[in-house]
Structure 1
Amino acid sequence: MGAVTAVLLIATVALTTIAFPSVAATTCPGCYGLQRLQPGLYAEPGLVPPQRGHVTEVIEQANKRVRDFFGGRASTPDILVCLSDDCYRRIGGGRERGVAVLNRSVMLSPRGVDPVIASHELAHVELHARLNGAEVPQWFDEGLAVLVSDDPRYLAPTGDRCLLDSRQPLPATLDDWLRAASADPQLYAEAACQVSRWAGTNGGKEAVRTLIARLSTGQAFPDIQMPAAAATTA
């Protein structure tokens, strides 16, 4: 029985490595040749000191954005950083700038080594750590990540931060979101508009923290999509 169990375990690991390299890489970064820069932070080997310093600084800034918004940290994700396309492909990355893997770890591509992209992905992990298994609509998940990361592509700098309002329901499931956002990246701006307006109306960051805490106890997600304002920032 022990031998059979061992064979099944090896087969499962092999299948995961082949079919889901990103999961395998975030589980064992060293198995993919990544080197630890500091606890929880891994990067491709061969980086010169300025590159290593840049990666560390980006992650420090990203962690600060997440910590400041949520009032601390509930998550301690491993972060895998690639500065070459070959490295990112090897660990299972695609054309995205970065990705939260199973909402537990983060991978950053060469185009994602930036405080905005890094904090966006880290915000996904932090949110799900605080939700304790509760679900939220995908538009809220994405809109909140934009707000936490303070992404200037999708948020106005001050005041009513909406760059693009919408009167249409936003995608609630991950599959629907991925399909819609691939066709229209400005969907992130619409989601950010909804979340930022709701937060601004209800007490800012503290209102978001309170909502997440309530959801983590099993309360239903409220209808927080708001009607478009008479005028928006363009």
Structure 2
Amino acid sequence: MSVYDSDIAPVAALLADRGRAAMLTALLDGRPLAAGELARVAGVSAQTASAHLARLLDGGLVTVVKQGRHRYYRLSGADVAQVVEALSRISPPLEARSLNQSRDARRLHTARSCYDHLAGVAGVALFASLMDGGLIEGDGVYEVTAKGDERLGLVGLDVAELRKGRRKFAGHCLDWTERRPHLNGALGAALLARMIELGWFERGRTRRALEITRQGRGGLADVFGCVL
């Protein structure tokens, strides 16, 4: 089936509602959220949130993770995250109506998760350093060089093992705020997860925001030549 045979109207209709759009944007954090949390994010009642989530489930945009008697929702995959990010790039920004909202916007601009990989100023800078330093190479689809394999090994990543997965190994997203590429795919996800484990980044109080630690600034510079 070609792209011209795809019926995009049902998916577009799901994204057109502000409540559902707010829920999907919140799930760009990559972590599953309960229906009550998503209701608060969307500013709707629990009953309305349940109706929205049922439609998103039917449309294949979210999935359910069950833990005991509790149900948590997450995006169904990286493709959905990329669609939401792409819409963010062509949509008008939300106007900050308070000092807290302005601070949140700055935090997201500096460093944030884009589903499960690093975005914002930090993500764009890291991608540029990987390319300029000869650690990865390619155009849209990327491979790790011998030098990159050695550097990624320093932070505990097994590149050969990552290549065995079904997920695309390494590509890029056009960053929502920076309009420049950041790394995605299995490599981007594994790299962010490892940097959080190493304490280079910490989850911020603002949803999706990541805070760069002093250790992280040093590690990024020493290992990848990325100065933030």
TM over 0.5: no
Q: In proportion to residue count, which structure has more strand? A: 2
